[in-house]
Structure 1
Amino acid sequence: MMEMARAHPLDATALDPEVELVARARAGDRDAFEQLFRRHYRQVYAVACRVLPNATEAEDVVQDAFVRAYGALGGFRGEAAFSTWVCRIAINIALRRARRLRAQPASLTEVPEGGPAQEPADAADLECLVEQRAEAHAVRQAVSGLPDKHRVVIALRYFEGYSCDEIARLLGCSVGTVWSRLFHAHRKLRARLGSAGKEAP
């Protein structure tokens, strides 16, 4: 009987262009790393903005994070996505910088997307818009006053839309720890916002 040819598993680089970029960057291809930088810059910058008080500090963190990531590529095993790995580096740098500079908590304002906001159609819409923005500002101010470990999980979960599993990978902790921090953050926010009649995220 003719022996059937054994199927060979597909090379991961053939399935995921990012895996190929990482492999090329690890081999010293600076252009490949530049592509990784362009792919993930906005994501890393948005995360840094949730920890630090101003855009300039966040930009410095992004640059530092990618420089460190490039130098540490040899130790990147691919157990998490490259974006998760570099975001974790950025979060750690941002938290250390915030503590070292004794910075005020980040305002957690939205990262600008560019372009003006749409004008409300009438006075009723304007009143509703003002009320919504006032409530959003109150919530962000309350979140800004939380301890670092609580502020970061709230920001990543509700402002950036990460799942608890993703947050756990970003912070290098268990999902249970993320849930615990979210629980305590919610309790603190309810206490801060309750008297103002606002609702925690």
Structure 2
Amino acid sequence: MNSLDDHTLIRLVLEGNTSAFDVIVRRYNTKVYSLAYRLLNSVEDAEDVAQDTFSQAFKGLGSFRGTSKFYTWLFRITYNLAISQRRKRKPALSLNSQTDSQGEITLPSDDASPMKNMEDEEGKTLMDKALGLLSLDHRAGLVLKEIEGFSYEEIALSLGVPVGTVRSRLHRARLELRAILEKLDKERADL
């Protein structure tokens, strides 16, 4: 069943085969969690959103029209839940706040030097912190384009905005991210 495409699995689920939905969950769980984490910058919130995403997807599977990729539809659920989760808590990040990169496990390669591994981890932590300071709209666009590899059209469909809006948001997000990274890097150098 793992080799079946998404549309076949969805058809099976709608026919009552719930084990087909287990395949869908296994197929997309990491992506949904990773996306939720990058949007919320919180392990606990990301776990909640990922679980709720699959719960809502299961309940609403009959409304999936199949005119887009299944992951695009699943992303939209994740994004909407992340916005709701974000509204429930106060976004208490500042340029002086400390964040960690829980939930993102990277194993150093055997041939990499300890200094290189430390630099890579510092860069990743700095990027996570900078992404956390962006607005949710800017962060979502960057994550979808740069990390998930979505096209502008797929991002527009996922976010429910025109392609031109996606392009302008990404442009502004990149400028904002660059400014934040420069400021964080300067603060780190001053320490």
Q: Identify the TM-score tier after normalising by the shorter chain.
A: 0.7 to 0.9
Point out the structure with max Rg over C-alpha: 1
1:185 lines up with 2:176 in the alignment: no
TM-score w.r.t. the length of structure 2 is: 0.78
1:174 lines up with 2:162 in the alignment: yes
- TM-superposed CA distance for 1:179, in Å, is 0.9
The residue identity in structure 2 corresponding to 1:118 is S
d(CA) in 1 for partners of 2:180, 2:23: 43
Aligned match for 1:69, one of 47, 57, 66: 57
Q: Percent identity, aligned pairs only?
A: 33
Q: Which moved more, 1:166-175 or 1:131-140?
A: 131-140
Aligned match for 2:104, one of 91, 112, 119: 112
1:153 matched to which residue of 2? 141
**Secondary structure in 2 aligned to 1:50?**
helix
- TM-superposed CA distance for 1:173, in Å, is 2.1
Q: How many residues align?
A: 178
d(CA) in 2 for partners of 1:131, 1:20: 44
**Secondary structure in 2 aligned to 1:102?**
coil
TM-score w.r.t. the length of structure 1 is: 0.74
In structure 1, list runs of 5 or more residues that go unmatched: 1-15
Structure with greater helix share of residues: 2
The residue identity in structure 1 corresponding to 2:135 is P
Which structure 2 residues correspond to residues 35-46 of structure 1 after superposition, within 5 A?
35-46=23-34
d(CA) in 1 for partners of 2:142, 2:67: 25
- TM-superposed CA distance for 1:168, in Å, is 2.1
In structure 2, list runs of 5 or more residues that go unmatched: 94-98, 187-191
